[in-house]
Structure 1
Amino acid sequence: MSKACPAHTDPARFIRSLRFNNIKGAAETIRENNALGAVCARVCPTERYCESACTRAKIDHPINIGGLQRFITDIEQEMGMQILKAGKPTGQKVAIIGAGPAGLQAATTLRQYGVAVTIFEEHPKAGGYLTYGIPEYRLPQEIVDYEVKRIIDLGAEIRCNIKVGKDISFDQLKADYDAVLVTVGNSKAKTLPMFEHNICTESAISFLARVKNGELHENELPDHVLVIGGGDVAMDVATTLKKLGVSNVTDVAYEEFNEFKASKNELAGTRKAGVTLIDGYVPTKVATNVVTFKHRKLDAELTIKADKIIYAVGQTSDLTGLEIDLQHSESQLWSAKYQTKDAKVFAAGDLVDGDQTVVFAVQKGKEAAKVIMNTLGGVNHD
């Protein structure tokens, strides 16, 4: 089953340890491959990865692997276990831009190799989308803070409120460090031209960040909100709105239900929250707070009037101030290479091909750290 996990965690091993009441052994199995094991236990779409490969699925239903991993990492936290250790110092220094999942995992792996690591984060807190996007009901901030503290205790330095390209130049980082890893993530919302400059609209990224930061005021919660999108982010927005007490939340998605990008668990949670879900429709025009949709396959139109419109139609990276060339494909590095045209500059996370889930960010961060070590003359501990 470890082959089905992007982070290469072996559920069979930690379940076996748990069966014999060896909690530390179980935690070691998780942590040796995933520095964000407690986070992934809560937000990983396990039905898409490890549970889909579980042999029990052919008999009745798969083992609740995510639940078991959460149980183990919760006990690990309660007992204050210190599983990971820093390697013998190599004298090498690496700068990481962005303290999201890929950057945090890369920092952990590099520290295990003995490399000094400094992470530069433009926001006040580390975590990236874990801190500023995923709702509290799915991922409590105390879990993110716990994971970050463990990485700091491993010896990684995290410097927040510093935007590379503004507060410090990219060239300065290249001069001061042996390598620079860019893991800025997809923090910029994509939009549709029809929604630009519309006073009734807001991006999902902006909305979720304001909720997490406590910046959303009660008078901003109208009776009817329209959400556009069919991914996990759209489901997070819709469910969050219901939890905040919004009476009518309608989500309209381009995808039909059999195509939904959202995980089955997220989709089920959104339905349970009482959100109205409409699939297979594309927005064709908008007049302030009235949106007209056309079905992708049927000869049908739909018009919805809402007090507020929140769109979740994709995200992209903001590379302002970072003079790097990532155009090896249309918008990303090719998979499993991690090096840009500049021999000293690497990239990981959402900037690299592959799923944009937390567990895939962990995989990319780990692999990028190994590529950096090989480039610097270190040892690849495969």
Structure 2
Amino acid sequence: MSSITGGMISPNLKENFEEIYKGMTKTEAIVEANRCLYCYDAPCIKACPTGIQIPKFIKKIASNNLKGSAKTILEANPLGASCARVCPTEELCEGACVLNDISKPIEIGNLQRYATDYAMKQNKPLFEAGINNGKTVAIIGSGPAGLSAARELSRLGYKVTIFEAESEAGGLGRYGIVSFRLPRTVVDWEVKQIEKLGVEIKTNCRVGEDVSVEEIVNNHDRIVLAIGMSSVPNLDIDGEQLKGVYDAIEFVKDTKINEPTEDIRGKKVAVIGAGNTAIDAATSAVRLGASNVQIIYRRTKTEMTAYQFEYEFAKQDGVEFRWLTAPVEIIGEDSQVKGLKCTEMTLGEVGPDGRQKPIPVEGSEFTLEVDLVIKAIGQSRYENLIKAFGLKSVRGVVQVDEALKTSQEKIYACGDVIFGNGQGEAMVVSAVEQGKTVAGAIHQSFRLQTEIA
């Protein structure tokens, strides 16, 4: 796939990728913090996967104790600065706020950002590593789950080494979430905070190639698999080999690691799929200057997996949505995309996955004039690596128990590698909590060994 960025910088396009929301002012934050009822049995805490003591951190903002507020947040959520920007707060903490019944919920996400932004500006360590207990843990992958596990384990005294295939740590936050929602500077700060605890991060180190699975297993007391997911699978239609067909994951990643240019200005773009990644790809295409961006989805708005706020954001950006539409062929001319042949769909009976099966409507084919096609129909799995570790899995989803331990005694798993087939949740904040769970389970396993001995 050819790059869509790189080369001469376009100032206007560069501005398009700057963070949209600039954060609360001090006055706004204090006024909002004082709206909080500081509930004793706060439902917002229960709705937060990481269990942040929300009334506590908000009360500290109200009293201008921003360091204390940030520490309260980050104690529970090692990636609290990122989550303040990308969490679906409307569905979680803010959705549970008691003020929903009488006015509007407290802006918990924005207050969390206000406090963590203060911590980033101070750029001082808020936590310390625990006393070395002589045990070593290898973490494969440095996305939200891996970083969270590393932070917690280092505070418990473990020597932690993260093995990361990419050139920089951060995983999804670094490469997979658009910069106008999650800037690289936020991820940089969170990674550095974890490194300051003594965690070693080996980048450009792909397990199975640069270091063997056997070496990882033999040289560490415990292993955490936090490898996430891989590339977007093929559509399995004619024309996928044409120039102008992109993998949505790579498309978004390219905008994160390179400077935006005018390569697609004025072009028409079709994005296949309606998940959060599809929204990110579509809104990135808008910011890269596309004249028209359409999301093509074979089901209806009700079945789309993108968050509601992502959908509203895309509509505000001018992205069009074509429901009950499926691609059947990518049409080309001189090896370049020129059109997308589609068919109308209808929803049939409910299948084994609990969803109505999309069925093509006979004789309904039509062609859209497009210059680029971006595939965003989910992601494939690193099944070879899962097999190399000898882990039990179902369709690439690693099977774990309540402690997130795999079928191998010393190996745990967290994050997207355990999401799917009705197991787990695909949220950054859920991955962070899973990392904490794994760290606690590993620590408990050693304590039990000591008691038995």
Q: Which interval holds the TM-score relative to the shorter structure?
A: over 0.9
2:320 partner amino acid: T
Q: What's the counterpart of residue 343 of structure 1?
A: 409
- Superposed, 1:1-382 pairs within 5 Å as 1-194=44-237, 196-214=240-258, 218-221=262-265, 223-288=267-332, 289-297=339-347, 302-321=366-385, 323-332=388-397, 333-334=399-400, 336-352=402-418, 353-377=423-447
Cα RMSD after superposing both structures: 2.1
| Structure 2 Cα separation of the partners of residues 329 and 263 of structure 1 | 26
Q: Is the Cα–Cα contact under 8 Å of residues 2 and 10 in structure 1 kept in the other structure?
A: yes
Q: Deviations over 1:253-304 (max 9, x none)?
A: 2342233321222111111111112223233444343221323349565532
Does the 8 Å CA contact 1:188/1:318 hold for their aligned counterparts?
no
What's the CA shift string for 1:309-349, capped at 9, x where partnerless? 00111013324445124434443224634222221222111
Aligned partner letter, 1:193: D
Cα 1:334–1:254 change in 2 (3 A) is farther
Residues 9 and 191 of structure 1, relative CA distance in 2, 3 Å threshold: farther
Asked if structure 2 preserves the Cα contact closer than 8 Å seen for 1:285 and 1:293, the reply is no
TM-superposition CA deviations, 1:80-127 (whole Å, max 9, x none): 342222112111000111111110000001011110100011111000
Per the TM alignment, residue 188 of structure 1 is displaced from its structure 2 partner at its CA by 2.1
Contact 1:104 1:151 in 2 (8 A): yes
Distance (whole Å) between structure 1 residues aligned to residue 413 and residue 124 of structure 2: 31
Contact 2:382 2:396 in 1 (8 A): no
How far, CA to CA, are the matches of 1:73 and 1:19 in structure 2?
15
- In the alignment, the residues of structure 1 paired with residue 440 and residue 405 of structure 2 have an alpha-carbon distance, to the nearest angstrom, of 11
- Does the aligned pair in 1 maintain the 2:341–2:365 contact within 8 Å? no
Instruction: Tell me the TM-score normalised to structure 2 length.
Output: 0.79
SS of corresponding position for 1:60: coil
Q: 2:27 — aligned with what?
A: none
Given that 2:264 and 2:289 are in contact with CA atoms closer than 8 Å, whether structure 1 keeps it comes out as: no
Which 10-residue stretch deviates more, 184-193 or 94-103? 184-193
Contact 2:264 2:290 in 1 (8 A): no
Q: Which structure 1 residue ranges, 5 or more long, are not aligned?
A: none
Unaligned runs of at least 5 residues, structure 2 = 1-43, 333-338, 348-359
Deviation of 1:163 after TM superposition, in Å, equals: 0.7
Q: What is the distance in 1 between the residues matched to 2:156 and 2:383?
A: 28
Q: 1:133 is aligned with what amino acid?
A: G
> Is the contact between residue 299 and residue 345 of structure 2 (CA under 8 Å) also seen in structure 1?
no
* Structure possessing the higher radius of gyration over alpha carbons: 2
| C-alpha separation in 1, matches of 2:75 and 2:218 | 32
State the identity %.
Answer: 37
User: How far apart, CA to CA, are the structure 1 residues paired with 2:115 and 2:448?
Assistant: 33
State the 1:14 CA deviation. Answer: 1.1
Does the Cα contact within 8 Å between 1:17 and 1:26 map onto a contact in 2? yes
Task: Name the CA shift for 1:200/1:217 in 2 (closer, same or farther; >3 Å).
Answer: same
**Secondary structure in 2 matching 1:171:** helix
1:203 deviation in Å?
A: 1.0
CA distance in 2, matches of 1:360, 1:192: 29
The 8 Å contact of residues 164 and 170 in structure 1, kept in 2 or not, is answered as: yes
Q: Residue 47 of structure 1 contacts residue 264 of structure 1 at CA under 8 Å; is this kept in 2?
A: no
Distance, in Å, in 2 between the alignment partners of 1:122 and 1:355 is: 24
Q: Is the 8 A contact 1:41 1:67 kept in 2?
A: yes
Do the aligned partners of residues 135 and 5 (structure 1) sit closer, same or farther apart at CA in structure 2, a change above 3 Å counting?
same
The residue number in structure 1 matching 2:29 is none
Q: 1:84 to 1:192 in 2, by over 3 A?
A: same
Separation in 1, partners of 2:378, 2:401: 20
Q: Name the CA shift for 1:296/1:198 in 2 (closer, same or farther; >3 Å).
A: farther
Q: SS at 1:161's partner residue?
A: coil
Instruction: Give the residue type in structure 2 aligned to 1:345.
Output: I
- Please give the alpha-carbon distance, in whole angstroms, between the structure 1 residues aligned to 2:81 and 2:401: 26
In structure 2, give the amino acid aligned to 1:348: C
- TM, length-normalised to structure 1: 0.93
Which range is displaced more, 156-165 or 198-207?
198-207
Secondary structure at the residue paired with 1:193? coil
How many Å separate the matches in 1 of 2:326 and 2:54?
40
User: CA–CA distance in 1 between the matches of 2:260 and 2:385?
Assistant: 30
